[in-house]
Amino acid sequence: MLNLIRVQRSKKEANDRIIQRFSNKVKASRMVQVVKTKRYHAKKKTKRQVRQAAIMREYYRGIREKMKYYS
């Protein structure tokens, strides 16, 4: 799973801008997040934990859906 992120320098482009574009591409690819999660072994969730997470997810989705029209 080796994804290379490349940024080509265009004419008259500042180094700061190149670094900014590169860091934005890294964030968008979520490579850092994947590496951090795979760094340590994590126990599998129990059925109860999975069920509870699904219930809370649905609860918060409902709240977000209601609040969508108030802003």
Q: What is the DSSP letter of 41?
A: -
Two tokens at 42? 């994590």
pLDDT band at 1, cuts 50/70/90? low
Two tokens at 44? 């599998």
pTM of this prediction?
0.52
pLDDT digits (tens, 9 = 90+) for 9-51: 988 999 999 999 999 999 999 888 888 989 999 899 999 999 9
Asked whether the beta carbons of 25 and 8 are under 8 A apart, the reply is no
Domain coordinates of the chain in residue numbers?
Answer: 15-67
pLDDT band at 2, cuts 50/70/90? low
